[in-house]
Structure 1
Amino acid sequence: MTSLLLVEDDAVIRTSVGRALERYGYRVSTAADGLGGLEAALAGGHDLLLLDVMLPGLDGISLCRRVRESSQVPILLLSARGDGLDVVAGLEGGADDYVVKPVDLPVLVARIRSLLRRAAVAQPSPASGQAGAVLTFGELSVDTGALEVRRAGRRVELTPTELRLLLEFAAHPGIVLERATLLRTVWDYGWDGDSRVVDLCVQRLRKKIGAGRIETVRGFGYKLTTT
């Protein structure tokens, strides 16, 4: 059974969202503050983290950054409407996506399922190491079978979303991919989403694979450079 960790200080929201997710077949653990959430997250055993931004003790953005120091587990932020700066800070800190509060349960479940699909894609099958191609772009190599990324021979650790984004670029080298296209193919948005999610994930990816490897095409989107 898929295990979720919900870190939310509002007891009513924590209980109602937790019970609703259990009805969808998830096993839900909870924490009421940031420090308790950090302890539970670092203990492992969760397939996805749901972090409220405003938490006592340790806020959700700081919690996200602390988790990212040692784990690539998918992270979904729960943010109050209008907290644009918090959303940006959370995505910069390593979150994969966000859902606004009050929580729309069908949207939340859709985002959870999308993140879990990305995490599944990021896990190579036992035979994948022999089936995939190794794509090389300058000092960057992407093994599409083993799902390993190396820069100048050194392995690069990516979150499932970062890896899915890089695989999308690697499948279309030198071709400009629009933000709306990436929202559909990487984030599974069936409607217009927040393009900041794309921009900030590209920003994080650049830091890991080289700032010049993904080029911005102003007014259109991004492309992976091939040399």
Structure 2
Amino acid sequence: MDPAAKLLVVDDEDRIRRLLRMYLERENYQIDEAEDGEKALDMALNNDYDLIILDLMLPGMDGVEVCTQLRKHKATPVIMLTAKGEEANRVQGFEAGTDDYVIKPFSPREVVYRVKALLRRSVHSNVFTSEGNNSHTIVFPDLMIEHDAHRVIVGGQEVNLTPKEYELLYYLAQAPDKVFSREELLKDVWHYDFFGDLRTVDTHIKRLREKLNKYSSRAADMITTVWGIGYKLEVPKE
């Protein structure tokens, strides 16, 4: 992990921004701050941040809208800060493209852990190297995953995925035609024993299909819903 990774911390409470800055700077991260959504979006679009910590409830433009607008242009990893009673808003956040969330009140050490984990998954290319499989390129009809380059090619065009969308696709692609339950995907892709809401998987699958479908409906249709169980990547029969 790059010790000089540049982060944007967005929260309307000065004490929270100061607290996060203190803990993150101890890890040698470079920290910028924003106190509202409009400023955060402007900074995010005009700088190349490695990760953004984004409060959900902001004055003016809220965190969901910031993430929605950001995702039209960039795939910067986003960790959203949410209050305990904001479950519906958290789902909206995932639909907008959030990669992870932390519930307030939070432990600063937990935030640091989440930041490190997401940066590792975003930067390094050996996240899901399966035992006995040395291939770093996976090729299907209309879909190619170049894992060393962390790149997805669909219909001959490179697709801009968020780190979590990439991990989910790569995980499914490593075991084509195998059905994974939502619980399995939460555990193995999100790396927590229980992440809280199974709709997290559904919203990411939806976004992934939409992005693939822009270049190839055949590639998008490979991500198949197995009703009552979960999802699989189904290889077309030639």
Q: Is the 8 A contact 1:122 1:163 kept in 2?
A: no
Provide runs of 4+ in structure 1 moved above 6 Å. Answer: none
Task: State the TM-score, normalizing by the size of structure 1.
Answer: 0.88
Aligned length: 218
Counterpart-to-counterpart distance in 2, 1:98 and 1:225: 30
Deviation larger for 159-168 or 13-22: 13-22
Query: Which residue of 2 is the match for residue 62 of structure 1?
Result: 65
Separation in structure 2 between the aligned mates of residue 122 and residue 145 of structure 1, nearest angstrom: 5
Structure 1 contact 122–160 (Cα < 8 Å) conserved: no
| Matched ranges for 1:208-219 at <5 A | 208-210=211-213, 211-219=220-228
Provide the C-alpha distance between the structure 1 equivalents of 2:150 and 2:29, rounded to a whole number of angstroms: 27
- 2:101 and 2:191 map into 1 onto residues whose CA distance is 13
**Contact 1:121–1:160 (8 Å) recurs in 2:** no
- Relative to structure 1, the CA distance from residue 216 to residue 63 in structure 2 (aligned partners, 3 Å threshold; closer, same or farther) is same
Q: Which residue of 2 aligns with 1:132?
A: 136
1:202 aligns with 2:232: no
Work out which of the residue numbers 84, 87, 93 in structure 2 matches 1:84: 87
Q: Which residue of 2 aligns with 1:106?
A: 109
Match of residue 162 from structure 2: 159
Q: State the TM-score, normalizing by the size of structure 2.
A: 0.84
Q: Which of these residues, 36, 39, 49, is aligned with residue 36 of structure 1? A: 39
Does structure 2 conserve the Cα–Cα contact (< 8 Å) formed by 1:114 and 1:187?
no
Distance 1:108 1:180 in 2: 23
Task: Give RMSD over aligned pairs.
Answer: 1.9
State how far apart, in whole Å, the 1-side matches of 2:199 and 2:125 are: 22
Q: Deviations over 1:3-26 (max 9, x none)?
A: 211110011222222222222332
SS in 1 for 2:52: strand
Q: In the TM superposition, what is the alpha-carbon distance from 1:62 to its structure 2 partner?
A: 0.7
Select 2:195's aligned residue among 179, 182, 193: 193
Asked if 1:95 is matched to 2:104, the reply is no
- Which of 158, 174, 179 is the equivalent residue of 2:177? 174
Q: Distance in 1 between the 2:200 and 2:28 partners?
A: 27
Preserved CA contact (<8 Å) 1:114 1:188: no
Residues 170-192 of structure 1, C-alpha deviation per residue, up to 9 Å, x if partnerless?
10000012223222332222x21
| Map of 1:143 onto structure 2 | 146
Structure 1: give runs of 5+ residues left out of the alignment. 124-130
d(CA) in 1 for partners of 2:125 and 2:136?
13
